[in-house]
Amino acid sequence: MTNAFQHKLEKLYSKMLKMASIVEDTIQRSVEALRVLDFDTAEKIILEDDFIDNLEHELEMECLTLLATQQPLAKDLRLVGATLKVITDLERIADHAVDISRVTLELKGQKLIKPLIDIPRMASHAVEMLHDSITALINEDIDLSNKVMRSDDFLDDLNQQIFHELLLLMMSEPKIISQSMQLLMVSMFLERIGDHATNIAEWTHYIVTGKKPLVNQQL
């Protein structure tokens, strides 16, 4: 790796860390806005999505410039290629935070059918997964990336728990079906955020080994 490439890669990673930090904050704010029905914050998150989209585009262009001007090979090429994929995952995670905010706005004029406990737990776990996956990528830490992939099961289990709980509520009280379905969507969005964090963790494997782990690989 040349000094010029190393310097440009460090700048790229610095901007990617900034994007990841913004996305983590957006997830937390979107779920907190839902928990307390803060419609102003939900609207702000939707408006702020353009900034994240622009940041993704900026990072994409820097990756493509690196590929064109530095012509990296082997591991250096994997570093840039994986970064291109990671910033796409980050943008899609931000989109799910927007989706959650839109659900919040749809609840105007309503009260929550119950205090939200497991959905904020899902959000907290998803943010931790995202943070760890980015840290693993930057540090090329296979052990931490394996931890992220294993922890996705916890998010899946919470998603199933929420599904069954809301299903029972809908069966006992049909008038809450509409809001229950919206909360199920939120749970699904958070589960998908975990999937994107897992994708990022898998790119760490690709950078270090040249191969992504198999889906059913024992970690």
- pLDDT 10s digits, 114-131: 999 999 999 999 999 999
State residue 12's pLDDT score: 92
7: Cβ–Cβ under 8 A, 6 or more apart, which residues? none
Q: Give the domain ranges of the chain.
A: 3-209
Helix (H) or strand (E) holding 216: none
Rounded to whole angstroms, the Cα distance separating 102 from 43 reads 8
Supply the pLDDT for residue 213: 79
Question: What span, in angstroms and rounded, lies between the C-alpha atoms of 78 and 55?
Answer: 21
- Find, among 99, 91, 94, 89, the residue nearest to 184 by Cα: 99
Buried b (16+ CB within 10 A) or exposed e, 62-76: bbeebeeebebeeeb
pLDDT of residue 111: 95
Q: What is the pLDDT of residue 1?
A: 63
Among 1.10.530.10, 1.20.58.220, 2.60.320.10, 3.90.110.10, what is the CATH number of 3-209? 1.20.58.220
The structure tokens listed for 2 are 């040349």
> And the tokens for 140?
């090329």
- Write down the pLDDT at residue 218: 38
pLDDT at 71: 86
Can you list the residues of the chain whose pLDDT is less than 50? 216-219
To which residue do tokens 């199933």 refer? 160
Phi-psi region of 87 (alpha: psi -120 to 50; beta: other; left: phi over 0): alpha
Measured distance CA(48)–CA(205) in Å, rounded: 32
| pLDDT score for 215 | 53
Give the predicted TM-score (pTM) of the model: 0.93
CA dihedral 156, 162, 164, 167 (to 10 degrees): -140
